[in-house]
Structure 1
Amino acid sequence: MPIPSLKDKLIDKLREIEDPALLAEVSNLFELQEPETVYKTSSAQKKSIEEAKQQAKDGRVVDNEQSDKESDEWLSE
């Protein structure tokens, strides 16, 4: 279906919606497609990120299962 025709059909359907909950869901869907949020990081955060990247490159990583196990052990102390 050509894009202009699809847009027209969607607009027509939106005009027919009377359900506030459904309109809210459609609104949320459109908001998800907004550009990603840009986060500002401090120099300390940037340093931590770079260190983590280097650790990953060096193979100094823990898989998710091991991480969960270590977290559970720590929480049970």
Structure 2
Amino acid sequence: MKTAEIREKLIREINSSDNKNLLEELYRYLDRENKTQKTYNLSDEQKLAIEEAREQINNGDYLTSEEANQEIDEWLKR
């Protein structure tokens, strides 16, 4: 479901609700979420690390979760 569709459904639900407590709680939640959203600025080093990781993935140089778990299990047995 796209963001616009979700927004429209929420608006319809809010408009049809007479539950003051629910509406107040929803308002507090949305207000808090909108105030706490932060934009993260990556350093050049972080951007480089991400680019390198993407290249590794494109080259097939990665482990699946199962492979990584097996390696961890083997390491823990030592």
TM-score range, shorter chain: 0.5 to 0.7
For normalisation by structure 2, the TM-score amounts to 0.55
Task: Please provide the CA RMSD for this pair.
Answer: 3.5
Distance in 2, Cα, partners of 1:74 & 1:60: 20
Return the offset for 1:67. 1.2
Unpaired runs of at least 5, structure 2: 1-8
Identity of paired residues, percent? 26
Aligned length: 66
* Residue number in structure 2 paired with 1:9: 16
SS at match of 1:40: coil
For normalisation by structure 1, the TM-score amounts to 0.56
Alignment of 1:1-77 (within 5 A): 6-10=13-17, 12-13=18-19, 15=20, 17=21, 23=25, 26=26, 27-28=28-29, 30=30, 34=34, 37-77=38-78
Q: Structure 1 residues 3 and 70 mapped into 2: Cα distance closer, same or farther (>3 Å)?
A: closer
Q: Deviations over 1:33-54 (max 9, x none)?
A: 74x6421111111111000000
More helix by share: 2
